[in-house]
A = this chain, B = another copy of it.
Amino acid sequence: MRTPWRSAVGLRPVITRMTDLFVRTLRQDPSDAEVPSHRWLVRAGYIRRVAPGIYSWLPLGLRVLQKVEQIVRDEMNAMGAQEVRFPALLPREPYEATGRWTEYGPNLFRLADRKRADLLLGPTHEEMFTLMVKDLYSSYKDLPLSLYQIQTKYRDEARPRAGLLRGREFVMKDSYSFDIDDAGLQASYDAHRAAYRRIFDRLGLDYVIVSATSGAMGGSASEEFLAIAEIGEDTFVRSPGGYAANVEAVQRPLTPARDAAGVPAAHVEDTPDSPTIDTLVALSNDRFPRADRAWGAADTLKNVVFMLRDPDGTRTPLAVGLPGDREVDLKRLEAAVAPAEVEPFGDEDFAAHPQLVKGYIGPRRAGAEAGLGTAADGAGVRYLTDPAVAEGTRWITGANEAGRHVYDLVCGRDFGSDGVLDVAEIRDGDPAPDGSGPLALARGIEMGHIFQLGRKYADALGLKVLDPNGKLVTVTMGSYGIGVSRAVAAVAEATCDDKGLAWPRNLAPFDVHIVATGKDAAVVEFAAALAEKLDAAGIAVLLDDRVASPGVKFTDAELLGMPTSVVVGRTLAHGVVEVRDRASGERSEVAADAVADTLIALLMP
């Protein structure tokens, strides 16, 4: 049989030979690879796709995954959280009680068993942990409590992408804190936040902590840990003064109210051939010039209509009014209206709402039938406006008639809305909401998310304990997630280059990759002896003992990405081998009889 193989966790390593290792490297990119980490993880034989968003871990990949798991486990234990493991296959009832059975909509994998009982594959486990604590605990003396699991999760993503970055089956660390009061929750939240910092530091990720929205999870405060990466799906902003938020969570302040006493009465004008904001502005400056300055796009009020689909399938229209120099950011809108989903307002929808004239939508004017009224008018379309649409601001906007716009329409005087909704795109240079300077946009991969859930789940499922006065009080909870399988991809993304993977030492499947080139018996012997020496010192060695050209072996060594490789080849005759550092590309000649000690000193300090 084979050379014994040891797992990445908890065992003295044993030399692995490339001729034994279950791996196959690819010289071509897989057709579905959208991002570098995905491409290299597949080409280097770390993972393989089984179905959209569903992957298998090959030996090399699993070793990295297990090392990430162990770092997470270490730090969760160190903060006093206790490890448990819940099933992935869960009954419907608890999720029904909190509304999430419905709210999750098509993102939930649902199934029925042979007795037609409804089951789901857990996307997160708030309900189950709440019920478990309710089952076991009953007193304030039992709290605070933090529980976690490292477990497989399921989400039927509409668009699984980028390999492990957005999968449908993935490994997550989820934890939950239970406290008697808000101060306790804050302390548990802070402890998780500190543990997360240690975890992402140990993973070597360049990350940022940003304010976030709570989404389907509910609750109040929440922050995300984003690994900074161009291919990230999340956009965040930072200011020089320390403001940091996911764009979904940015709340621009309300523009202060203005005095509109000098603004003339609203007047409707013909505006032919002005289908866009740009053409409307040009026409306005041409035909209705303003005395003090030229009209700009920011003087126009753009009204965009959407359909919101609730998880139960109900569709409701929503109109958003915002300055014409900004677009609606769909991700910000989606975050704001979750769990509802956003759909375009189609031609049939316009047909069903004759008061909305496509291309010329504006607030309803006194006595008119058409246009956007407030809900109080019974107009049937909810109308929310941007924070810039403040009391006293004047606008050029649609007149609810084809080919006509209205000028000098003043907010508060001539129209109102059902409220404020800040879903306009955030731009580089926009002021930070807290006054800490101009915002810079960047992208990141969501690695962790921490929530102060509060009492939502405890209320829904009746988790109460006796307080020191013998009174039943509802427990307050936090929920905290880390994408463990995603972290493997995020680290790969951050460290790879144009030759392949380049693992940091603490996550690499092997510490040293020995490449023996040529067929010279002395080379083969020396490489094997070196492997033995390193192994005896506790260093995990991958030995390329294949019959293959040096070129193939060098290419594979760079592709597989062990932090250090040793080339044993022709120069051995002169008593020299080459040590290569994968990350820096540095190569150094080392005396063959000193290389073992050199590496041991380097790797086992």
Q: Which residues of A contact B (CB under 8 A)?
A: 1-7, 9-11, 14, 19-24, 45, 48, 50-51, 54-59, 62, 65, 70, 73-74, 77-91, 106-107, 109-111, 113-114, 117, 119, 121, 128, 132, 135-137, 141, 144-147, 152, 154, 156, 158, 168-169, 187-188, 191
In the complex with contacts A48-B132, A73-B7, A87-B169 CB distance below 8 A = yes
The residue in chain B whose Cβ has the minimal distance to the Cβ of A111 is: B111
Which 8 A-B pairs have CB atoms at the shortest separation, nearest pair first? A2-B80, A10-B10, A111-B111, A24-B136, A57-B85, A106-B114, A1-B80, A51-B91
The residue in chain B whose Cβ has the minimal distance to the Cβ of A89 is: B169
From A21, A56, A65, A191, name the one whose CB has the most chain B CB atoms within 10 angstroms.
A56
Q: Decide: B48 and A82 in contact? CB cutoff 8 A.
A: no
- CB neighbours (8 Å) of A80 from chain B are 1-5, 20
- CB neighbours (8 Å) of A85 from chain B are 56-57, 62, 65
Q: Decide: A77 and B11 in contact? CB cutoff 8 A.
A: yes
In Å, the complex CA distance between A534 and B392 comes to: 74
CB A427 to nearest CB in B, in angstroms, measures: 34
Q: List 21 A-B contacts (CB under 8 A).
A: A1-B80, A4-B77, A5-B77, A5-B82, A19-B141, A23-B136, A45-B136, A51-B91, A54-B90, A56-B85, A57-B84, A59-B83, A59-B84, A65-B85, A88-B88, A88-B152, A89-B121, A89-B154, A89-B169, A109-B113, A109-B119
- CB neighbours (8 Å) of A113 from chain B are 109, 156, 168
Q: Decide: B89 and A54 in contact? CB cutoff 8 A.
A: yes
In the complex with contacts A77-B5, A191-B1, A114-B58 CB distance below 8 A = no
- CB neighbours (8 Å) of A7 from chain B are 73, 77, 83
The residue in chain B whose Cβ has the minimal distance to the Cβ of A147 is: B22
Majority DSSP secondary structure for residues of A touching B: mixed
Q: Decide: B110 and A22 in contact? CB cutoff 8 A.
A: no
In Å, the complex CA distance between A146 and B188 comes to: 45
Q: Decide: B146 and A2 in contact? CB cutoff 8 A.
A: yes
In Å, the complex CA distance between A3 and B144 comes to: 11
Q: Decide: A5 and B81 in contact? CB cutoff 8 A.
A: yes
The residue in chain B whose Cβ has the minimal distance to the Cβ of A74 is: B11
If A4-B78, A89-B109 are given as contacts, then 17 extra A-B residue pairs at C-beta distance below 8 Å, sorted by A number, are A1-B144, A1-B187, A2-B79, A4-B79, A4-B80, A5-B83, A7-B83, A14-B77, A22-B147, A45-B136, A50-B86, A50-B128, A51-B119, A54-B90, A87-B169, A109-B119, A114-B156
- CB neighbours (8 Å) of A117 from chain B are 51
In Å, the complex CA distance between A90 and B132 comes to: 29
In Å, the complex CA distance between A1 and B81 comes to: 9
From A22, A54, A88, A156, name the one whose CB has the most chain B CB atoms within 10 angstroms.
A22
In Å, the complex CA distance between A91 and B78 comes to: 39
In Å, the complex CA distance between A156 and B89 comes to: 11
8 Å CB contact of A22 from B87, B141, B145, B187: B145
Q: Decide: A56 and B10 in contact? CB cutoff 8 A.
A: no
The residue in chain B whose Cβ has the minimal distance to the Cβ of A8 is: B83
The residue in chain B whose Cβ has the minimal distance to the Cβ of A51 is: B91
- CB neighbours (8 Å) of A121 from chain B are 89
CB A550 to nearest CB in B, in angstroms, measures: 20
CB A92 to nearest CB in B, in angstroms, measures: 10
The residue in chain B whose Cβ has the minimal distance to the Cβ of A120 is: B111
CB A321 to nearest CB in B, in angstroms, measures: 33
The residue in chain B whose Cβ has the minimal distance to the Cβ of A195 is: B1
CB A86 to nearest CB in B, in angstroms, measures: 5
From A59, A85, A136, A147, name the one whose CB has the most chain B CB atoms within 10 angstroms.
A85
- CB neighbours (8 Å) of A128 from chain B are 50, 56
CB A19 to nearest CB in B, in angstroms, measures: 8
CB A159 to nearest CB in B, in angstroms, measures: 11
